[in-house]
Structure 1
Amino acid sequence: MDKAGRIVVVTGASGGIGRAAAVAFGQQGAVVALLARGEAGLAGAAREVEAAGGRAWTLRVDVADADAVDAAAERIERELGPIDVWVNVAFTSVFSPFSEITAPEFKRVTEVSYLGYVYGTMAALSRMRPRNRGVIVQVGSALAYRGIPLQTAYCGAKHAIQGFNESLRCELLHESSKVRTTMVQMPAVNTPQFSWVLSRLPHQAQPVPPIYQPEVAARAVVYAADHPQRREYWVGGSTAGTLIVNSFAPGLLDRYLAKTGFKAQQTSERQAADQPVNLWEPADAAKDFGTHGIFDRRAAKRSAQLWASQHHAAVGATAVGLLAAVAIAGRALSRTANR
């Protein structure tokens, strides 16, 4: 369908990847429904979507509330039209050793970061399935495959999303549905989360380098929405490397992360005593944190691996061509040597 004018829903749209993706869809001329809890963050995101050329529509929603998510979808379809693309991004987390996380905190992370995806998918699918069209994009992470220390709740949620999405994909294939679901596995991204998630670390939390800007992730989300036939996309060389190593030597990676994972997720600066916490209430209700986090100087603006993930056929053809050229050159050298 024509990308201009299509109805796109993005959860967690007030900051980070969600906000960058909403703006990227706006650049295509989409009507973007932005769902999040923070009023100031939503207002800022809406302005950016409109400035990019799209039409913005905002609604404050806690994705952990299934009824509220379904009501939001109903209102979107009533006021904007049939939903074409639904992107699940919203999450929260706790940076802490598992022994220091309370049961209510772990439950809350799970409800937002996993069940929020389930509820969003339910709301979208119940409307897309009768029309037999639509795309659902799950924003995942390398941590959907590989858990790391200090993020047990978040890693658990991402692993759950991975299994849920694979199961759902099989069901849609079984019924020959034209509704598509795909997942985008992200690397470390420079988002505001490191300035507003609950942290019990002594130093400022940071993404494990290398770090990418949210716009890199956003381009991957939009591409996945436009090309949902692929089951998933990997963003960043670090994502590809981590998943490949984890497939062959997970025990070795366990020991490596046990040794390096604590330090790699903290800067040398002490955590600010007045850092906001968005676990129970939005941190961006009165203050707009924007799209980027505090690591702009260290974040990459592009990813060669993302291009490779999106162009498997071209990469494969190039690889075959190179191998053929090497083989031909080898035979030529062999004939020369034998003369």
Structure 2
Amino acid sequence: MLLEKKNAIVYGASGAVGSAVARAFAEEGARVFLAGRTSATLAVVAEKIRASGGVAEVARVDVMDEDAVEAHADAVVRSAGSLDISFNAVSLPQTGIQGTRIVDLSPDSFDLPMTTYPKANFLTARAAARRMTGQGSGVILAITASPSRTAVPLMGGMAPAWAAIESLVRGLAAEVGPRGVRVVCLNAAGMPETPQLSEVYGLHADAYGISRDAFQARMADLTLRKQLPTVAEIANVAVFIASDRAAAISGAVANLTGGLIVD
């Protein structure tokens, strides 16, 4: 198994992407620590992992609370002996954030993703880096989306926030690389089966005066394979990059857009 004897924290582990990645980590042998704001929904994910023979533990952690993030990371190391993988998959409801022209956007709506996503990734990545550099190994993962690198209307503060995370990944990778720690960002196009993307596509479809299905078809047609990525595909790549088989990858933004972005 690719992640045998690895200990992984997944933040936002009750969401569509976080839960899928947590399950994939566990299937490949990792002991998974599920972190989020709602214990009940995390418990559902943990039970599915355990039912499949995996090992999962749950903790209520607010990723915007510096002390809570640090205390949880300490607890993981005390319990498991090391922190080997950290993946931040936290998200916000997008109504009021996407679907409005920048010229019509309120400062608060622009500010919310800008102050939430980069800070959340900073706090969790910093906590992981502090412990991983001490042990001389580890992998820190983040996730963004294609508008960070393309010219897409009606994104509000989301595209700048994602771009900030990618910049954070590169800078952190440069600092911790000499001490055995890798930092990588997954950049994905929309995954239509997730509730958040259903919301997002609906917001954009309404702005264009078309149906949600029509907007989704438009986005799929922009990819080279005429198909948007699935959550399972993202999770599979997360497993590989978190594994020792991807030891040469750091400071990178992995393109999982299906050709929506062409590098």
* TM-score grouping bracket, smaller chain normalisation: 0.7 to 0.9
Change (3 A) 1:19 1:149: same
**2:259 aligned counterpart, secondary structure:** helix
Aligned residues: 240
AA partner of residue 95 (structure 1): Q
Give, in angstroms, the shift of residue 200 of structure 1: 5.9
CA distance in structure 2 between the partners assigned to 1:3 and 1:90 by the alignment: 22
**1:237 aligned counterpart, secondary structure:** coil
Give, in angstroms, the shift of residue 2 of structure 1: 7.3
**2:14 aligned counterpart, secondary structure:** coil
Instruction: Show the counterpart of 2:29.
Output: 29
**2:90 aligned counterpart, secondary structure:** coil
2:99 alignment partner, one of 78, 96, 101:
96
**Contact 2:173–2:181 under 8 Å retained in 1:** no
**2:121 aligned counterpart, secondary structure:** helix
Q: TM-score scaled to structure 2, two decimals? A: 0.81
1:192 paired to 2:195: yes
**Contact 1:146–1:243 under 8 Å retained in 2:** no
Change (3 A) 1:105 1:64: farther
Instruction: Show the counterpart of 1:230.
Output: 249
1:146 alignment partner, one of 140, 150, 156:
150
Change (3 A) 1:159 1:228: farther
Question: Which one is further off, 53-62 or 123-132?
Answer: 53-62
1:47-126 matches, cutoff 5 A = 47-92=47-92, 93=94, 94-97=97-100, 98-126=102-130
Give, in angstroms, the shift of residue 161 of structure 1: 1.0
**Contact 2:36–2:60 under 8 Å retained in 1:** yes
Q: Tell me the alpha carbon deviations over residues 76-123 of structure 1, each in whole angstroms, 9 at most, x when there is no partner.
A: 222333111111221224223134443333333223322111111110
**1:83 aligned counterpart, secondary structure:** coil
**Contact 1:144–1:161 under 8 Å retained in 2:** no
**Contact 1:181–1:228 under 8 Å retained in 2:** no
Q: Tell me the alpha carbon deviations over residues 206-239 of structure 1, each in whole angstroms, 9 at most, x when there is no partner.
A: 7632322211100011111011421332224234
Q: Tell me the alpha carbon deviations over residues 246-275 of structure 1, each in whole angstroms, 9 at most, x when there is no partner.
A: xxxxxxxxxxxxxxxxxxxxxxxxxxxxxx
Q: TM-score scaled to structure 1, two decimals? A: 0.64
Instruction: Show the counterpart of 2:181.
Output: 179
Q: Tell me the alpha carbon deviations over residues 240-299 of structure 1, each in whole angstroms, 9 at most, x when there is no partner.
A: xx244xxxxxxxxxxxxxxxxxxxxxxxxxxxxxxxxxxxxxxxxxxxxxxxxxxxxxxx
Change (3 A) 1:187 1:101: same
Aligned-residue identity in percent: 27
